[in-house]
Amino acid sequence: MGIPPLLIVLTGKTAAGKDAVMSKLLEKMPNLKRVVSTTSRAIRTDETNGVDYNFISKEDFRRKIENKEFIEYVEYGGNLYGTEKSQIKKGQDLIWRIDPSRAGKVKQLITGFKILVIYLTVRDCVILKRLQDRNLNKQEIEKRMQDDKKFWQEYKDNYDYVVENIPGKLDEAVDKITNLIKMST
């Protein structure tokens, strides 16, 4: 039996820069194919359907749940998020950005891959500023930050590596992750 393909699971605190890190990793490691999650939330102005997420209605999302088309899904912030089975293509090296509660369960959900779960962290004051810049209300910000703490406590033993994404030092975080990937394969 040959070497299994790689599945890098990128997760972390809310507003920790997961998308920015993933974009840089995809540039540095063109062999990685992106797993695109599906969501029922509204598309943001800087997002592209089919690239950032597959954006669908709640009704369509619920229909896909009924048809057992998801590996996993969760409701978060009043919206549904999940990964369709069709996104996990066997025989390809993949990178998958998902929230910490789902990332903590990946190794029980998926087989046939060498799985590395990388948790991105950033200081709470940075998260607070980023969430305020997204015009979220105080209650939503507090809930997200409390959820971060709860998920960390529940799933921290399921993450292989923790990397701090220091503001202004994105390339350092990406280099660190690249080195962790090389060491693990």
Using a pLDDT cut of 90, give the percent of the chain over it: 79
Establish if 1 belongs to a structural domain.
no
CATH of the domain at 125: 3.40.50.300
Question: Does 2 score more than 80 pLDDT?
Answer: no
Establish if 77 belongs to a structural domain.
yes
> Contact 121/165 with Cβ under 8 angstroms?
yes
Average of pLDDT values for 96-109? Answer: 88
Average of pLDDT values for 133-141? Answer: 90
What integer pLDDT is reported at residue 99 of this predicted model?
84
What integer pLDDT is reported at residue 104 of this predicted model?
86
Establish if 51 belongs to a structural domain.
yes
C-alpha distances out from residue 89 to 35, 44, 54, 177, Å: 9, 27, 16, 23
pLDDT band at 41 (very low <50, low <70, confident <90, very high): very high
Q: Domain span at residue 167?
A: 6-184
Average of pLDDT values for 79-98? Answer: 92
The pair of structure tokens assigned to 80 is 């549904």
Question: Does 136 score more than 90 pLDDT?
Answer: no
| Residue reference for tokens 């369709």 | 84
What integer pLDDT is reported at residue 154 of this predicted model?
93
Question: Does 135 score more than 90 pLDDT?
Answer: no
The DSSP letter of residue 36 is: P
What does the DSSP assignment read for 62-95?
HHHHHTT-EEEEEEETTEEEEEEGGG--TTS-EE
What integer pLDDT is reported at residue 1 of this predicted model?
54
> Contact 55/48 with Cβ under 8 angstroms?
no
Establish if 59 belongs to a structural domain.
yes
Question: Does 36 score more than 60 pLDDT?
Answer: yes
The pLDDT tens digits for 26-35 are: 999 999 999 9
pLDDT band at 87 (very low <50, low <70, confident <90, very high): very high
Total domains present in the chain: 1
> Contact 113/6 with Cβ under 8 angstroms?
yes
Establish if 151 belongs to a structural domain.
yes
The pLDDT tens digits for 58-70 are: 999 999 999 999 9
